[in-house]
Amino acid sequence: MIKFALQGSLPVAILLLCGGTSRMKASGDTPITVKDGGSILLIADGLDGGKTWTSGSAELRHMNVQGVLSSVKITEAGADRCGGDPKCGIDPSKPWNIRVVYNGRWITIASVNANKGVHVTFSPKVSFDQWKKSGGADQREFGHGDGRHISTIKVNGKAASLCAGKGGCAVTVVYTAP
């Protein structure tokens, strides 16, 4: 007879029920934040683990394409720029994108296949290879204290920017996978 101690059998049971560690890591919320911070910061949950994201010089792509947009928060100097709308005017059942402009360079956070999944694309002047690891886990920095700020945040290409460009702008997208 084989005995499992309760402490050792619980992780095994979870792995068996969930189908392995990759499936466990792919479920849950994945926040992605782009914000001012002495330069521009990108924080993508799970980025350093390397198992939930693939990266190239032009984009980051989340490996679990079944997830959907669950919330968007855009702030400037701490003020809510979405007027209390938890999705900031985005209908997650349709293709969506958020364009962030920083010193003439852009970063786009967008849906992928059939409005599921998420990827982050970079303009050629701000390729992912140019981002340096900074203070926290899953965090990268571009601009290295250059004193510039995000000048524009646009949702779905609408003309109005949700950032005046005076500093303190941030966008956080939460992507939820089953």
Q: Which tokens belong to 133? A: 């690891």
* Residue 166 included in any domain: yes
Kindly give the residue spans of alpha helices, DSSP state H, lying in the chain.
Answer: 6-18, 21-26
Per residue in 42-60, pLDDT (tens digit) is 999 999 987 889 989 999 9
CB count within 10 Å of CB 155 equals: 21
Per residue in 13-24, pLDDT (tens digit) is 333 333 333 333
Partnered with residue 140 across adjacent β-strands are 42, 133
Domain count across the chain:
1
CB count within 10 Å of CB 87 equals: 17
Expressed as residue numbers, the domain containing 105 is 28-177
Taking the whole predicted model, whether its pTM rises above 0.75 is answered as yes
Kindly give the residue spans of alpha helices, DSSP state H, lying in 19-135.
Answer: 21-26
Q: Which tokens belong to 163? A: 């950032």
* Residue 21 included in any domain: no
